Chains A and B, each alone.
Chain A
Amino acid sequence: EIVMTQSPGTLSVSPGERATLSCRASQSVNSNLAWYQQKPGHGQAPRLLIYGASTRATGIPARFSGSGSGTEFTLTISSLQSEDFAVYYCQQYNNWPRTFGQGTKVEIK
């Protein structure tokens, strides 16, 4: 099983600042990586942000960008808005089973 490790666990950022989240795979997943956002609260389903490591999903603002391939990936939020404070997960789909990282919480500084 491929282990996905996200860092940091929590990121404290002020509105308007840049946030950089990392995701590392225990072995190469090529570009078969997605990022999701999940807001706190009951009934908040994850939302797909990025797939193929760097392609924004439909309707995702341009301030979200993804990069990387192989084992090292980055999600960057260029200028944090109030609605961006949430937990972010990476997920690989190169191998079975699909696996998620443990999440990075982006909180208001």
Chain B
Amino acid sequence: EVQLLESGGGLVQPGGSLRLSCAASGFTFSNYAMSWVRQAPGKGLEWVSLIGASGTITHYAESVKGRFTISRDNSKNTLYMQMNSLRAGDTAVYYCAKDQSVTTGDMDVWGLGTTVTVSS
């Protein structure tokens, strides 16, 4: 079964840091680009970042550029997001998602999310 399982969320103070992980199983992880998408409480979906299959290409939303770093370890089938200088506006459920193929940017597999709360 194809599965993504996020972890690492929690309560952090403004200015603090957190590292999210996403463990993948059921597919050849190293073949697919992966994204983080977040959803603030009661709000819509916001794409945050993407990393290419080999890890050499990355893209970020302006709202997190310079503060968040996406990475992956294909030997461990795991995606990461290092989040620094966290703000209240970063409070959200963070989902990891898999690109369906190398030629499209739709995301066909999603995890259940991990909650990040930035508050003093």
Stretch of B10-18, B41-49, B69-77, B79-87 contacting A (4+ beta carbons < 8 Å)? B41-49
Q: Is the CB of B108 within 8 A of A48?
A: yes
Partner of B110, one of A1, A32, A47, A99: A47
A residues within 8 A CB of B50?
98
Partner of A98, one of B35, B95, B111: B35
Q: Is the CB of B45 within 8 A of A45?
A: no
Q: Mark A41-61, 1 if CB is under 8 A from B, else 0.
A: 001011110011000011000
Q: Is the CB of A98 within 8 A of B60?
A: no
Task: Please report which residues of chain B, range 54-112, place their CB below 8 angstroms from some CB of chain A when the two chains form the complex.
Answer: 59-62, 95, 97, 100, 104-108, 110-112
Q: Is the CB of A100 within 8 A of B113?
A: no
Chain A: which residue is nearest B115 at the CB level? Answer: A42
Q: Is the CB of B112 within 8 A of A34?
A: no
Task: Please report which residues of chain B, range 19-57, place their CB below 8 angstroms from some CB of chain A when the two chains form the complex.
Answer: 35, 37, 44-47, 50
A residues within 8 A CB of B35?
98
Task: Please report which residues of chain A, range 21-52, place their CB below 8 angstroms from some CB of chain B when the two chains form the complex.
Answer: 32, 34, 36, 38, 43, 45-48, 51-52
Chain A's interface size range is 20 to 34
Chain B's interface size range is 20 to 34
Q: Mark A73-109, 1 if CB is under 8 A from B, else 0.
A: 0000000000000010101011011111111000000
B residues within 8 A CB of A45?
95, 110-113
A residues within 8 A CB of B112?
43, 45
Spell out B's residues near A (CB within 8 Å). 35, 37, 44-47, 50, 59-62, 95, 97, 100, 104-108, 110-113
